[in-house]
């Protein structure tokens, strides 16, 4: 019992506010100050005596020399202290930055999780809020951009299947003039499509899957959809003004009456696509594949179709005035009744007269697109060509 109390007291002394570690630190600091003082007091004299090498020197001159050495040593010590302080500050900044980065990533993760959770609610406004939240995260976090793009694409495939199956959705065979714009009938899907078309401008991975989706009267004006898989999607009467679909895949897609003025379809795959009545004025169709595509009554005025493949494509009644077909593949292409002008360019050796085209006066410069009604609200006349 008697031996336990002193031991308890010793433990208390070591663990208290002035415990062993604190005392050790104080002793170390005191020893360091003592050594530094000794160095500053004794070392200057030794250095001066060493430099004199036994020669005599007046006391005031020796004192001045010792003080000069001491000043130099003080400056060196001060510089070392400043360097050590700068290094310690830099290390602390690194630690603070790492902590801030970890905190920010935690906030982003929480926001990401909440945004994804909002997509599963039945409330439309909550889903739209979740989509906007994910969009904002992707704009500020490059690490999350690909994940957000994948979520948006999956959202569109899930909510807009083709042919449509959800109650209240226009039937697949409904006249396009009876179909409301996507931003009216499914505003959440339009938000997902718009954000995806903006984020795809800077994405790193290729191929986004939007195949077999119902994008009738969707607003895709100015969106970037390069290398996007839109195979068998229905984009009837969609607005694609100045959209970028470079190397996109639209095999068997439906683009009837789609307004694609000045859009870019370079190296896109449009084999077996239905483009009847589509507006392709001044579009970039270079090296695109239109094999067996249906382009009846399509408007290709002043389009650049250099290197495009129109093998067995149907261009009857299409408007080809001013179209550049000089290096296009027109093997077995049907051109009966297609409107052409003196500005239409044909492949070398191709005889347009024998193809049954109809010479028509050139319409001149195209009107500015801002004077045209939005493609997603235009009422389209029935096609003259039968299915």
pTM for the predicted model, two decimal places = 0.74
Is the Cα dihedral 360, 266, 237, 254 positive or negative? positive
Q: What percent of the chain is modeled with pLDDT above 70?
A: 80
User: What's the pLDDT score for residue 36?
Assistant: 67
Mean pLDDT taken over the chain: 87
371 pLDDT more than 80: no
The answer for residues whose C-beta is within 8 angstroms of residue 364's C-beta and 6 or more apart is: none
Any idea of the CA torsion for 113, 119, 121, 124, to the nearest 10 degrees? Answer: 140
User: What's the pLDDT score for residue 83?
Assistant: 84
CA–CA distance, 308 with 330 (Å, rounded to integer) = 9
User: What's the pLDDT score for residue 40?
Assistant: 65
Question: HSE of 4 in the Cβ direction (CA atoms, 13 Å)?
Answer: 1
User: What's the pLDDT score for residue 53?
Assistant: 67
Kindly indicate the confidence band of residue 367, based on its pLDDT and cuts at 50, 70 and 90. Answer: confident
In this prediction, residues 270-294 reach a mean pLDDT of 98
Kindly indicate the confidence band of residue 56, based on its pLDDT and cuts at 50, 70 and 90. Answer: low
CA–CA distance, 59 with 84 (Å, rounded to integer) = 37
User: What's the pLDDT score for residue 20?
Assistant: 64
187-208 pLDDT tens trace: 999 999 999 999 999 887 778 9
User: What's the pLDDT score for residue 250?
Assistant: 98
User: What's the pLDDT score for residue 101?
Assistant: 62
14 pLDDT more than 60: no
Kindly indicate the confidence band of residue 283, based on its pLDDT and cuts at 50, 70 and 90. Answer: very high
Q: What percent of the chain is modeled with pLDDT above 90?
A: 61
Give the lowest-confidence range in 103-107, 262-266, 349-353. Answer: 103-107
CA–CA distance, 238 with 193 (Å, rounded to integer) = 12
Q: Are 208 and 196 in contact (CB under 8 A)?
A: yes
Kindly indicate the confidence band of residue 178, based on its pLDDT and cuts at 50, 70 and 90. Answer: very high
Chain centroid to Cα 320, Å, comes to 36
User: What's the pLDDT score for residue 13?
Assistant: 46
Chain centroid to Cα 386, Å, comes to 42
> Minimal CA–CA distance to 80: which of 44, 45, 29, 36?
36
User: What's the pLDDT score for residue 340?
Assistant: 98
In this prediction, residues 21-45 reach a mean pLDDT of 67
Other Cβ atoms less than 10 A from the Cβ of 35: the count is: 10
234-257 pLDDT tens trace: 999 999 999 999 999 999 999 999
Q: Read off the tokens for 375.
A: 């493609």
Kindly indicate the confidence band of residue 42, based on its pLDDT and cuts at 50, 70 and 90. Answer: low
CA–CA distance, 158 with 177 (Å, rounded to integer) = 25
In this prediction, residues 16-32 reach a mean pLDDT of 63
Cis upstream peptide for 163 (omega within 30°): yes
In this prediction, residues 309-315 reach a mean pLDDT of 98
Kindly indicate the confidence band of residue 183, based on its pLDDT and cuts at 50, 70 and 90. Answer: very high
Angle, helices 20-52/59-118, rounded to nearest 10 degrees: 140
CA–CA distance, 309 with 330 (Å, rounded to integer) = 7
102-144 pLDDT tens trace: 555 657 678 899 999 999 999 999 999 999 999 999 998 888 9
CA–CA distance, 40 with 264 (Å, rounded to integer) = 78
28 pLDDT more than 90: no
């Amino acid at each position: 019992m008697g031996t336990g109390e002193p031991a308890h007291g010793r433990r208390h002394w070591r663990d208290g506010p002035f415990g062993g570690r604190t005392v050790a630190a104080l002793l170390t600091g005191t020893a360091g100050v003592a050594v530094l003082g000794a160095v500053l007091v004794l070392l200057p004299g030794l250095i001066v005596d060493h430099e004199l090498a036994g020669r005599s020197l007046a006391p005031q001159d020796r004192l001045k020399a010792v003080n000069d050495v001491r000043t130099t040593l003080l400056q060196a010590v001060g510089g070392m202290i400043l360097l050590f302080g700068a290094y310690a500050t830099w290390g602390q900044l690194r630690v603070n930055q790492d902590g801030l980065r970890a905190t920010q990533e935690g906030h982003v993760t929480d926001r990401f999780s909440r945004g994804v959770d909002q997509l599963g609610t039945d409330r439309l406004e909550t889903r739209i809020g979740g989509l906007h939240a994910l969009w904002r995260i992707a704009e500020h976090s490059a690490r999350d951009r690909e994940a957000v793009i994948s979520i948006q694409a999956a959202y569109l495939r899930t909510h807009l299947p083709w042919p449509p199956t959800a109650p209240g959705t226009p039937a697949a065979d409904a006249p396009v003039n009876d179909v409301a714009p996507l931003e009216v009938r499914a505003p959440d899907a339009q938000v997902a499509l718009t954000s995806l078309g903006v984020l795809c401008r800077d994405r790193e991975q290729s191929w986004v899957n939007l195949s077999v989706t119902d994008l009738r009267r969707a607003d895709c004006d100015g969106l970037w959809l390069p290398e996007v898989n839109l195979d068998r999607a229905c984009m009837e009467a969609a607005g694609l003004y100045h959209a970028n679909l470079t190397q996109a895949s639209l095999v068997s897609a439906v683009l009837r009456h789609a307004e694609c003025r000045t859009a870019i379809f370079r190296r896109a795959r449009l084999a077996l696509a239905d483009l009847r009545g589509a507006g392709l004025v001044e579009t970039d169709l270079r090296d695109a594949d239109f094999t067996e595509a249906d382009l009846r009554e399509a408007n290709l005025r002043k389009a650049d179709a250099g290197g495009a493949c129109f093998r067995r494509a149907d261009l009857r009644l299409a408007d080809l005035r001013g179209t550049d077909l000089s290096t296009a593949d027109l093997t077995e292409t049907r051109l009966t009744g297609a409107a052409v002008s003196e500005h239409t360019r044909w492949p070398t050796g191709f005889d347009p007269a024998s193809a049954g085209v109809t010479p028509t006066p050139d319409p001149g410069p195209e009107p500015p697109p801002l004077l045209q009604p939005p493609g997603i609200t235009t009422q389209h006349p029935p096609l003259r060509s039968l299915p």
